[in-house]
Chains A and B, each alone.
Chain A
Amino acid sequence: MINRQSNFYTIIYSALLVIIVGVALALVYQALRPAQVENMADDTRRQILAAARIYPTDGMTVSELYAKHVTDSYIVNDHGEKIDPDINAFDINIGEQVKLPENERKLPVFVCNTDSGIKYILPVYGAGLWGPIWGYVSFDSNGDTIYGAYFAHQGETPGLGAEIEKTEFSSQFDGKNVFNSNGDFTSVMVVKAGREPKDGTPYVNAVSGGTVTSTGVQNMLANSLRPYSAFLKSKSEHTEQ
């Protein structure tokens, strides 16, 4: 019988254990990776569609629904010009883009064909209390009015900050304008229920008990949507002509 207390036995034992566990985890990861990637892509498609108030129904997979409604996608810069035609807008990592200065960002745009006309869906990304929060905001073809919004989070507190993913919160954004009458970008404020911004900026009610997450949503919208100002304005001028 080997001495279980010896240093040699302990070192060999721990080395073997780590190797076995490491190999097992690597195998599990390799085996499950394709299914996970597909799930994640489908989840992103579902989120994009949710921003345009299109929800999966029975008998149609998310991919089919996405192919039917999202007719075009491209990347613009902060002057609203299309750039990088070779890159798929779907593959852009928004989390990395929002950290760059506004004039260096690649800004994806998803064009969605809905029952009530063409909508432009723009991704947003920011920080909540415990981790990242993100979402998609769809604009009417005038480039000013929000048609729908979808928010998600990684690990906000259930019942508090996590409520931002509920439609009770996100539907408040429907119909808000992000430009004021002078044509300046104002974004949408998220303020405590019962209060309102003094300067007349459009606002929605924050989640009670989720102040940090709510402020995170407000900052996320301002930071992620401002670079799109030129793009959105070009749409409104186009409509007026």
Chain B
Amino acid sequence: MNIPKSFIPLINPFSKDNPVIVQILGICSALAVTAKLEPAVVMTISVTAVLAFANVIISAMRKTIPTSIRIIVQLVVVAALVVIVDQVLKAYAYDVSKQLSVFIGLIITNCIIMGRLEAFALSNSPWPAFLDGIGNGLGYGWVLIVVAFFRELFGSGTLWGFRVIPQWLYDHGYQNNGMMILPPMALITVACIIWVHRTRNKDI
């Protein structure tokens, strides 16, 4: 496949360099927000937005940041962005913000964000850093959404809150798997994705 070289930071995180299933980062939030599809999607959007902006800002500041306090500087920038996202949601999308209250704050602790700032934004110019942020945010997001899809389908019998498992199946003795909505199954689902992914990509 011929990808323009400048788009590599955008494409790589989807598979070859995926933050969740290859670098095993951000697992904690992948467990927390994947019991239902909707929070997983909103989390994907929020993380992608915060990561893209944080990458651009840190990348623009990279020549001025004193190396001894660079982690603190990154933390302050990420924390400020997350607070702004939270405040904007509270003012203009109150219902969404109510659903996600704690998860928005938890974006700060997502290791992918600090990882990308440290590994990419500090040594690249803003445009590639922006692409890298979008790529990693979405690369993280598709894993989240796949996990949430299976957990909501088998755990609650719904997708996006709508019932998809028909009533006659329940009448014939089918039951939702309560285990699916508990965190351990998220780990097992992620492990299954990693298994399939490594089987298809022998070089990893």
Contact = CB atoms under 8 A, between A and B. Distances in A.
A183 B141 CA distance: 56
Contact of B35 (A29, A39, A157): A157
Given A17-B76, A28-B87, A155-B102, A4 B36 contact: no
Nearest to B40: A158
A25 B94 contact: no
Interface stretch (A8-16, A83-91, A92-100, A220-228): A8-16
Interface in A13-58: 13-14, 17-18, 21, 24-25, 28-29, 32, 35-36, 39-40, 43
B101 interface: yes
Given A10-B68, A18-B76, A209-B182, A28 B36 contact: no
A175 interface: no
B188 to A, nearest CB: 16
| Size bin of chain B's contact surface | 20 to 34
Contacts of B94: 36, 39-40, 43
A32 B156 CA distance: 37
B78 to A, nearest CB: 11
B30 to A, nearest CB: 14
Contacts of B36: 158-159
Given A21-B76, A158-B33, A32 B88 contact: yes
Which applies to chain A's interface (DSSP): helix, strand, loop or mixed? helix
Contacts of A157: 35
A102 to B, nearest CB: 30
B26 interface: no
B121 to A, nearest CB: 16
B91 interface: yes
Interface of A: 4-5, 9-10, 13-14, 17-18, 21, 24-25, 28-29, 32, 35-36, 39-40, 43, 130-131, 154-155, 157-160, 208-209
28 contacts: A9-B66, A10-B69, A13-B65, A13-B69, A14-B66, A14-B69, A21-B77, A21-B80, A25-B80, A28-B87, A28-B88, A29-B87, A32-B87, A36-B90, A36-B91, A39-B91, A130-B102, A154-B102, A155-B101, A155-B102, A157-B35, A158-B39, A159-B36, A159-B155, A160-B181, A208-B178, A209-B178, A209-B182
Interface of B: 33, 35-36, 39, 64-69, 72-73, 76-77, 80, 83-84, 87-88, 90-92, 94, 98, 101-102, 152, 155-156, 178, 181-182
